[in-house]
């Protein structure tokens, strides 16, 4: 095969705006994973793809080649398996209440999740705030827990789509992250390799999201759904608003506490609404649409699954969560209505307080983050508390406050908040 292709030929083809052939794609992804194609050559190809794009068939084939670079899981148990992927947001703790809720409704939910980078939090970092909980499970442990509890949230096993891990690190340092075909194939190679029957995507849109505009979010959602369909999966995508943080808690332990509130029948309205909307869609693609997730959530059955899920991974769901040594309150400088609370700025503040990381190997503080005491639409008096900054490193507070400088907008009146779910695409 390598006699037929050289990296330079593949780079030139894409540089000059041509469609890559299936053979070229299969060869270059495999050769790069094996180290036969050098990083600088793959960087050049990634930039050519970034500038010239790939069509739907090329993207589906690129995804297939990334899946073929490693092992795949077969997560079939005696009930339909369905997974959810969020493109990342601020305060997006939805996986925590959602996985046990959908399991309580009769599906099996394997959530192979990631860690946070930059201003968006990682599901595994959140759950590691629970004393004893462990993220790393073997394939056998994942299968046993799926069969027994019905839900598992854990780290992706090493063997899945190694091409993606290698390429993602390269894109990160070469300015080629924001390419829809590369983002879509990265997400879907991992999700398809993981082997769930069906998948629901939460594509975030707005300042706190990766995709800032509805048009970009829709283009990504369409690409994700197209890849899923090409690979024979049942896939839906919800485009959801991420201009304001989800719920009130942004951080690790803070978000776990809020998730538990939701599972116990309380919690912020927006978190409950999005959890139920995604649960409905997951049950629909799993062929279980006769179950009402709102009713199951209210009944407490989802909390029981959470309890078993956390215990199965060594965690103590009854243990107190870590709390921050320092809390700094941001207050309103004038009376009025909170008209805007910028998700990106809150995400950066939480990150600077210690909730997130700048590099993959950085540790995170379990207790750090931001509590949003007021949300857009709330009437506030002068001096009313708006945000609480939580951290174990008080030196971080000035940098967090700097990030929040333009985050809060108080006006005489404010328009009613828009819808949370902006659109739904089905494969």
The tokens for 111 are 């959530």
Q: Is 90 in a helix, a strand, or coil?
A: coil
Q: How many other CB atoms sit within 10 Å of the CB of residue 16?
A: 9
Distance of CA 242 to the CA centre of its chain: 12
Cβ(54)–Cβ(63) below 8 Å = no
Q: Is 175 in a helix, a strand, or coil?
A: coil
Q: Which residues lie closer than 8 Å to 141 by C-beta, 6 or more apart?
A: none
Helical axes 56-68 vs 22-34, angle rounded to 10°: 30
Q: Is 69 in a helix, a strand, or coil?
A: coil
Question: Which residue numbers are catalytic?
Answer: 85, 164, 171, 186, 190
What string of DSSP letters covers 227-280? HHHHTT-EEEEEEEE-SS-SSSEEESHHHHHHHHHHHTT-S-HHHHHHHHHHHH
Cβ(354)–Cβ(391) below 8 Å = yes
């Amino acid at each position: 095969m390598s006699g037929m292709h050289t990296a330079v030929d593949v780079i030139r083809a894409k540089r000059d705006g041509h469609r890559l052939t299936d053979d070229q794609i299969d060869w270059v992804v495999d050769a790069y994973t094996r180290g036969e194609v050098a990083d600088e050559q793959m960087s050049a190809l990634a930039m050519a793809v970034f500038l010239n794009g790939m069509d739907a068939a090329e993207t589906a084939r690129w995804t297939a080649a990334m899946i073929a670079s490693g092992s795949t899981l077969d997560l079939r148990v005696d009930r339909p398996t369905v997974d959810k992927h969020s493109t990342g947001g601020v305060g997006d703790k939805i996986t925590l209440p959602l996985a046990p809720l959908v399991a309580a409704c009769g599906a099996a939910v394997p959530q192979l999740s990631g860690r946070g980078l930059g201003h968006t939090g990682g599901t595994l970092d959140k759950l590691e705030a629970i004393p004893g909980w462990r993220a790393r499970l073997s394939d056998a442990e994942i299968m046993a827990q799926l069969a027994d509890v019905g839900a598992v949230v854990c780290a992706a096993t090493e063997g899945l789509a190694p091409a993606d891990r290698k390429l993602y690190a390269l894109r990160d340092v070469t300015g080629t992250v924001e390419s829809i075909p590369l983002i879509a194939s990265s997400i879907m190679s991992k999700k398809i390799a993981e082997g769930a029957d069906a998948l629901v995507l939460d594509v975030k849109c707005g300042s706190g999201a990766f995709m800032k505009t509805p048009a970009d979010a829709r283009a990504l959602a369409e690409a994700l759904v197209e890849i899923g369909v090409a690979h024979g999966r049942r896939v839906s995508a919800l485009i959801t608003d991420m201009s304001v943080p989800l719920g009130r808690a942004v951080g690790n332990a803070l978000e776990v506490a809020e998730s538990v509130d939701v599972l116990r029948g309380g919690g912020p309205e927006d978190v409950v609404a999005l959890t139920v909307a995604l649960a409905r869609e997951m049950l629909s693609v799993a062929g279980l649409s006769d179950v009402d997730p709102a009713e199951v959530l209210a009944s407490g059955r989802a909390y029981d699954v959470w309890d078993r899920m956390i215990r199965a991974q060594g965690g103590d769901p009854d243990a107190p969560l870590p709390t921050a040594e320092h809390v700094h309150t941001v207050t309103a400088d004038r009376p009025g209505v909170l008209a805007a609370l910028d998700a990106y700025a809150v995400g950066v503040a939480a990150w600077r307080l210690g909730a997130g990381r700048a590099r993959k190997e950085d540790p995170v503080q379990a207790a750090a983050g931001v509590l949003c005491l007021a949300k857009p639409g709330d009437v506030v008096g002068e001096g009313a508390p708006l945000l609480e900054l939580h951290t174990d490193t008080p030196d971080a507070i000035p940098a967090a406050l700097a990030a929040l400088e333009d985050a809060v907008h108080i006006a005489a009146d404010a328009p009613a908040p828009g819808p949370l779910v902006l659109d739904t695409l089905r494969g």
